[in-house]
Structure 1
């Protein structure tokens, strides 16, 4: 295999490549995805199971044309946390089902209305910074996982982080042939071995875990108050989904909003969330970490994503294997995330370059400036228990501002409109 050869979405991948590439994707999503069930106080095994099932459902719904891995959504943490504390987790599950169902209805509305409205409310000057913010606002999370934001930084954490990030960066530049498509996996292994040598790994839970374990399935309960508390999250996850589809389109060189269509990908995303709520798991969403893996490796094959999904399902039933993956230390996850989140940020800037955004036009300069500052300022707007901040708030502001510019254009009031 030539160095950095592109493996496109529909291409078949030999088994000798499929397994390591799939493992690479699973490792990329694992750290963030299992954090959500820990916060909710449930067993991560059910989440690993649903991540795999949800990803396979997404692949089927999108006709295997949109490479995306579905992991645990962070957007639901605040409202679901309130519901869990007052009513219990089953009522939060009911809210997840309701949001997923409403999201499926929204996908049918988009199917009827089309996607041309996206060019109006999110032109390149706005979409570029919105996409960039998906990665940039997560940068502190990567540093935090690595232990680099602690008051007293442990040199061992720094060493493991540096080895992981260094292997990922220089491996991507120097590796050739087969190794050139698995730099993330090699970096994870190198970081893990470094952590082992530094003595910061604890295998107690691995030894105590059983070989076979059934995920903890449970049914949802429905309460209108709980549903109304969680339902506004639909705005958040829809904005996030559009951003993810746009950046993936730029990476693989195809317009996923048109083929297979935003309505299909949005339906697959929300249908997975609905099923998650029905079986006791957490809501799912397309994962930026795996988008970053594709950007680094140039491997876009849906078969690889599907392979990672199958491995996730297997891990949910093998207790020791699941626990072994959970022992991957924070500095390793942080080192990988440091690169992957940065790749997403760079993809947003690429939208500006590829679209040849003219900053001689006042509106473009205003849009990009306001979106970046809104997303990075830490400003938060609360709607009930849902907090709009970061990329989501920036996306809402960008859409509102772009729509106002469009209306002013139609009224012929702007001084920089195109003839």
Structure 2
């Protein structure tokens, strides 16, 4: 298609393209990533710093072969909230360090024994809906950010949301040449301009902010009780990580679980979380928003991701710039998320299509059905302070079912077994 050349993972990007493409990725992750430190009651500057450092670390560990941006993880909210309320934030940091360390150990185990087990416990009929759920279960979050789920909807929110989403959708179809690779950035700018016209942006905090400001570094404290409360999150973030790597593999057209390998991407993800805990930041994870940007723009260059990481680090030290970005209203973030989350959902369906899943086979129909219903039903399973719901619960259910089917196959008890 004219003007929509794919920029692959290893491709170099001219500086005139690199800057706007990097800004686009930073905007995509910003809204969700700074929400976590706001909930924990800490300054988001340290999080912007670690997001950038963690992303660069991830790129180095994966040898520049896995394009991924690391942002704040939401999986830790519930258990870390308990620890913060009872012991303080520094003990939560100790829990983050412990989870990151155990995740690094898991990466070494996978390096030793391989990742072929994924094909057994998550065949395409299960993996497709799991990946789709990454985007679909966030649809309500996008609408909530846009202010469209309130009992009384503000008309200004609707205007800004429609402008942002409209520019993103039609820009993706109509823009050509250079503009065709930055439709998300253009949509953010258009939505922000609409918000300013609607009187939704207050520049007072920007004017009051210092030009240069040092992120608030903290050191962790360790308590076995706090660690045991937070440690089970490892299961959640591992399932999430595998899902993100699979969907990114489909988008870029390469099997990232094999090259650079699941062990490398898991190591990069968890090492970043461990370092985050050591310096006072929140745990990091690969971000669906940035995966969505790659799906829309067809720009997969790891150099663009690295550029966004460097910009995030710069923003963490420039108080006025960081505060300016924080003035982006929810309807702008919601409008962009509507498209990006939908793209992730469509990527899950693409797995089913590309793998030519045969729904004439009973197990495939059963797996997809159970995974989708589990993920979208709102069912939650609690183990102590850990709550499994949505995509993570659906992934675990899908893995258990697939493993049982595999065992029954080996025992020659199934009626749809391939001879």
TM bin (shorter chain): over 0.9
Aligned equivalent of 1:193? 193
1:355 positional shift? 0.2
Structure 1 residues not aligned, in runs of 5+ = none
Aligned equivalent of 2:232? 232
Counterpart-to-counterpart distance in 1, 2:402 and 2:113: 19
1:301 positional shift? 0.2
Structure 1 length-normalised TM:
1.00
Counterpart-to-counterpart distance in 2, 1:250 and 1:186: 26
Deviations 1:160-187, CA, capped at 9 Å, x for gaps: 0000000000000000000000000000
Aligned equivalent of 1:134? 134
Counterpart-to-counterpart distance in 1, 2:252 and 2:312: 24
Counterpart-to-counterpart distance in 2, 1:44 and 1:237: 21
Aligned equivalent of 2:45? 45
Counterpart-to-counterpart distance in 2, 1:376 and 1:205: 39
Deviations 1:57-104, CA, capped at 9 Å, x for gaps: 000000000000000000000000000000000000000000000000
2:250 paired with 1:250: yes
1:205 aligns to what SS in structure 2?
helix
Aligned equivalent of 1:99? 99
Aligned equivalent of 1:272? 272
Counterpart-to-counterpart distance in 1, 2:348 and 2:129: 6
Describe how 1:101-120 pairs up with structure 2 within 5 A.
Answer: 101-120=101-120
Counterpart-to-counterpart distance in 2, 1:200 and 1:183: 23
Counterpart-to-counterpart distance in 2, 1:231 and 1:47: 21
Deviations 1:111-166, CA, capped at 9 Å, x for gaps: 11111100000000000000000000000000000000000001110010000000
Aligned equivalent of 1:147? 147
Describe how 1:1-16 pairs up with structure 2 within 5 A.
Answer: 2-16=2-16
2:167 aligns to what SS in structure 1?
helix
Structure 2 residues not aligned, in runs of 5+ = none
Aligned residues: 419
2:278 paired with 1:309: no
Counterpart-to-counterpart distance in 2, 1:157 and 1:114: 49
Counterpart-to-counterpart distance in 2, 1:310 and 1:273: 18
Describe how 1:216-365 pairs up with structure 2 within 5 A.
Answer: 216-365=216-365
Counterpart-to-counterpart distance in 2, 1:418 and 1:28: 44
1:298 positional shift? 0.1
Describe how 1:202-221 pairs up with structure 2 within 5 A.
Answer: 202-221=202-221
Counterpart-to-counterpart distance in 2, 1:74 and 1:220: 19
1:34 aligns to what SS in structure 2?
helix
Deviations 1:376-403, CA, capped at 9 Å, x for gaps: 0000000110100000000000000000
Counterpart-to-counterpart distance in 1, 2:147 and 2:227: 36
Counterpart-to-counterpart distance in 2, 1:169 and 1:87: 46
1:204 positional shift? 1.1
Aligned equivalent of 1:392? 392
RMSD: 0.6
Counterpart-to-counterpart distance in 1, 2:206 and 2:17: 28
1:2 positional shift? 4.2
2:388 aligns to what SS in structure 1?
strand
Counterpart-to-counterpart distance in 2, 1:234 and 1:34: 22
Counterpart-to-counterpart distance in 2, 1:3 and 1:338: 24
Counterpart-to-counterpart distance in 1, 2:348 and 2:372: 11
1:3 positional shift? 1.5
2:245 aligns to what SS in structure 1?
helix
Deviations 1:326-355, CA, capped at 9 Å, x for gaps: 000000000000000000000000000000
Structure 2 length-normalised TM:
1.00
2:374 paired with 1:374: yes
2:391 aligns to what SS in structure 1?
helix
Counterpart-to-counterpart distance in 1, 2:110 and 2:242: 12
Counterpart-to-counterpart distance in 2, 1:316 and 1:112: 38
Aligned equivalent of 2:71? 71
Counterpart-to-counterpart distance in 2, 1:198 and 1:224: 51
